[in-house]
């Protein structure tokens, strides 16, 4: 039995560059892991099956689960037969724009590679992961990266900026597909938002980072789900600062340069809202 941590991500930028012939959207984004995580337990014995155990009632435990799909893709690629049991202790909110399913899938790939001693490189695991979901390759590495294409093409970003994030998940169910469908023409931009974010991170300039964070899906998501805008407004009042949206939402986040500042924001929000998390960039 072996344990892998599956870290959530936030989008520090997300530019939508247009629709592709395959129906997906071309994006340019900065993904950053945070230390809010699921625990993924793995065990393997002789046999030929994949089983998922979890106390979560909000995700399917069959082949629709991304962790299941990752295990199937891994075993197929490695050409090994095993009975694999995956235990998922869910802490990342589901369907929240935090990439929890992709994180679990990547944790399964890393974990099975260790458990079965298959010796795949991270790049090989990322390639297997791309067949499961666009955000899975990023979750194989964690940390920070610029992701392009559908999100599967990665350029890793190394930075030393210490940042805390306070996440708020509004009680709204968001359909990622509906949000992307409602995106209009791409905004003209002389430089991608990701370059500004990366520059701020590498200069370890917290204020420049806050000024650069942006998400093309936010206006669209707020128009489709006005509750997101209402929560953002309330959160900004309580936190006394700008807040941002991750992925296709609905999770909102505030950034802080110190733990003490983040804790104050967290305490303020906890009085009013249920799903609030304090975490740190990984
Ligand atoms: P994305 O932004 O990629 O849509 P998300 O963070 O918004 O990701 P997830 O938590 O990954 O959303 O879940 C999206 C959907 O995938 C849910 O409706 C859920 O039922 C399904 N799903 C499949 N496997 C998992 C998993 N291991 N954890 C969470 N959700 C999963």
Ligand 1 residue neighbourhood (C-beta within 6 Å):
59-60, 64-67, 94-102, 104, 135, 176, 247-248
> Pairing between strand 83-89 and 214-215?
unpaired
CA-nearest residue for atom 17, ligand 1, is 95
The DSSP symbol for 43 reads E
**Which among 59, 107, 228, 248 is the best mutation to test ligand 1's pocket, defined by most ligand atoms within 8 Å of the CB?**
59
* Ligand 1 atom with minimal separation from the 90 CA: 28
Catalytic residue among 62, 135, 178, 274: 135
Q: Determine the Cα–Cα distance for residues 39 and 41; give it in Å rounded to an integer.
A: 7
* Ligand 1 atom with minimal separation from the 174 CA: 7
Q: Cβ neighbours of residue 228 under 8 Å, at least 6 residues apart?
A: 170, 172, 174, 221, 222, 245, 249, 250, 252
Tell me the pLDDT of the chain (282 aa) as tens digits: 999 999 999 999 999 998 888 888 999 999 999 999 999 999 999 999 999 999 999 999 999 999 999 999 999 999 999 999 999 999 999 999 999 999 999 999 999 999 999 999 999 999 999 999 999 999 999 999 999 999 989 999 999 999 999 999 999 999 999 999 999 888 888 899 999 999 999 999 999 999 999 999 999 999 999 999 999 999 999 999 999 999 999 999 999 999 999 999 999 999 888 999 999 999
CA-nearest residue for atom 16, ligand 1, is 101
Inter-residue contact 213 to 230 (CB < 8 Å): no
What is the pLDDT at residue 139?
98
**Which among 70, 92, 94 is the best mutation to test ligand 1's pocket, defined by most ligand atoms within 8 Å of the CB?**
94
Backbone angles phi, psi at 280, to 5 degrees: -135, 150
Can you give the pTM of this predicted structure? 0.96
CA-nearest residue for atom 19, ligand 1, is 59
What is the pLDDT at residue 184?
85
Q: Determine the Cα–Cα distance for residues 234 and 156; give it in Å rounded to an integer.
A: 34
* Ligand 1 atom with minimal separation from the 98 CA: 6
The two structure tokens encoding residue 75? 């075993």
Inter-residue contact 217 to 179 (CB < 8 Å): yes
CA 274 to chain centre: 21
* Ligand 1 atom with minimal separation from the 248 CA: 2
The two structure tokens encoding residue 237? 């009042």
What is the pLDDT at residue 181?
92
- The CA 119 to ligand 1 mean position distance, Å, reads 28
**Which among 95, 106, 174 is the best mutation to test ligand 1's pocket, defined by most ligand atoms within 8 Å of the CB?**
95
Q: Does the annotation mark 135 as catalytic?
A: yes
Q: Which of 170, 48, 153 is nearest to 97 (CA)?
A: 170
Q: Determine the Cα–Cα distance for residues 261 and 117; give it in Å rounded to an integer.
A: 43
Q: Determine the Cα–Cα distance for residues 68 and 51; give it in Å rounded to an integer.
A: 8
CA-nearest residue for atom 6, ligand 1, is 99
- The CA 58 to ligand 1 mean position distance, Å, reads 9
Q: Does the annotation mark 274 as catalytic?
A: no
CA-nearest residue for atom 31, ligand 1, is 101
Domains of the chain by start residue, with CATH: 2-156 (3.30.230.10), 164-280 (3.30.70.890)
Q: Which residue has the tokens 């942006």?
A: 214
- The CA 102 to ligand 1 mean position distance, Å, reads 7
Largest CA distance in the chain: 56
What is the pLDDT at residue 22?
86
Residues in the chain, total: 282
Q: Determine the Cα–Cα distance for residues 281 and 215; give it in Å rounded to an integer.
A: 18
């Amino acid at each position: 039995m072996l344990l892998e941590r599956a870290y959530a991500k936030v989008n520090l930028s997300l530019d939508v560059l247009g629709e592709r012939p395959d129906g997906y959207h071309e994006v340019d984004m900065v993904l950053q892991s945070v230390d809010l995580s699921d625990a993924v337990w793995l065990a393997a014995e002789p046999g030929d099956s994949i089983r998922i155990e979890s106390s979560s009632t909000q995700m399917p435990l069959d082949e629709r689960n991304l962790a299941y799909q990752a295990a199937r893709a891994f075993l197929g690629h490695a050409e090994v037969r095993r009975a694999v049991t995956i235990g998922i202790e869910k802490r990342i909110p589901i369907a929240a724009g935090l990439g929890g399913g992709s994180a679990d899938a990547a944790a399964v790939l890393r974990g099975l590679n260790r458990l079965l001693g298959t010796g795949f490189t991270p790049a090989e695991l990322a390639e297997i992961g791309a067949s499961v979901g666009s955000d899975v390759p990023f979750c194989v590495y964690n940390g920070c990266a610029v992701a392009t294409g559908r999100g599967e093409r990665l350029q890793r970003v190394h930075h030393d900026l210490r940042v805390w994030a306070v996440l708020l998940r509004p009680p709204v169910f968001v359909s990622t597909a509906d949000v992307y469908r409602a995106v209009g023409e791409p905004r003209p931009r002389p430089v991608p938002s990701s370059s500004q974010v990366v520059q701020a991170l590498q200069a370890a300039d917290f204020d420049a980072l806050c000024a650069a964070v942006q998400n093309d899906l936010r206006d669209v998501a707020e128009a489709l789900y006005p509750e997101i805008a209402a929560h953002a407004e309330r959160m900004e009042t309580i936190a006394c600062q700008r807040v941002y949206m991750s992925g296709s939402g609905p999770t909102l986040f505030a950034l802080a340069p110190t733990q003490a500042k983040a804790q104050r924001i967290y305490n303020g929000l906890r009085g009013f809202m249920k799903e609030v998390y304090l975490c740190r960039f990984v």
